[in-house]
Amino acid sequence: DGGITQSPKYLFRKEGQNVTLSCEQNLNHDAMYWYRQDPGQGLRLIYYSQIVNDFQKGDIAEGYSVSREKKESFPLTVTSAQKNPTAFYLCASSSKREVTYEQYFGPGTRLTVT
Amino acid sequence: GQQVMQIPQYQHVQEGEDFTTYCNSSTTLSNIQWYKQRPGGHPVFLIQLVKSGEVKKQKRLTFQFGEAKKNSSLHITATQTTDVGTYFCAINLRGNQFYFGTGTSLTVIP
């Protein structure tokens, strides 16, 4: 089955700890994305990567870091510098179809920091 | 930066009633996409619109792209409980970067 996997589904951490969220895709997509979703809000872009070893900051990159060492993987680290890290994190990938890019989303990781 | 406004934020309808959500941009868009997110789930791509005035249908769902390519709508005819969820529009920014609207949460009352 082709798709995007995120693990774990639920994650609990103490304040001050860094935590890394996993995102893997076997769709052979070049572009990958990380979004954050808070209740009642849309999806806000944290980071995106168009090719291996390259990534760009989105609207809310502060307190987060990423790497793209392999095409299939795009892990997100939530650092202790992120002031309000509790949220639902969604990873997505895309590949050009017709004129533009349709995004495929993983099931998400719900992070709770106390 | 470029933004897209989506209204309404919430909509409650009786089963069988129609539903519409709107996305509006202050600038001309190259394209617009629509996604649906079921409660507790992840967004799923529904459709993309590219041409001015384009209208596309998927069963009871009708998608429109405005003539000026600054607004779009999603209309659901005769809602069913399976339509429950949040509907997002998304616009394509630089390259393959996207900006999502705030979404419209649809509740269908049986």
pLDDT in tens, A32-90: 999 999 987 789 999 999 999 999 999 999 999 999 999 999 999 999 888 899 999 99
Measure A96 CA to nearest chain B CA, in Å: 9
CB contact (8 A) between residue A43 and residue B45: no
Of A44, A48, A90, the CB nearest to B42: A90
pLDDT tens digits along B22-43: 999 989 998 999 999 999 999 9
Question: ω before A8 within 30° of 0 (cis)?
Answer: yes
Residue type, A94: S
Tell me which DSSP letter residue B70 carries: S
Query: How far is it, in rounded angstroms, from Cα B57 to Cα B63?
Result: 6
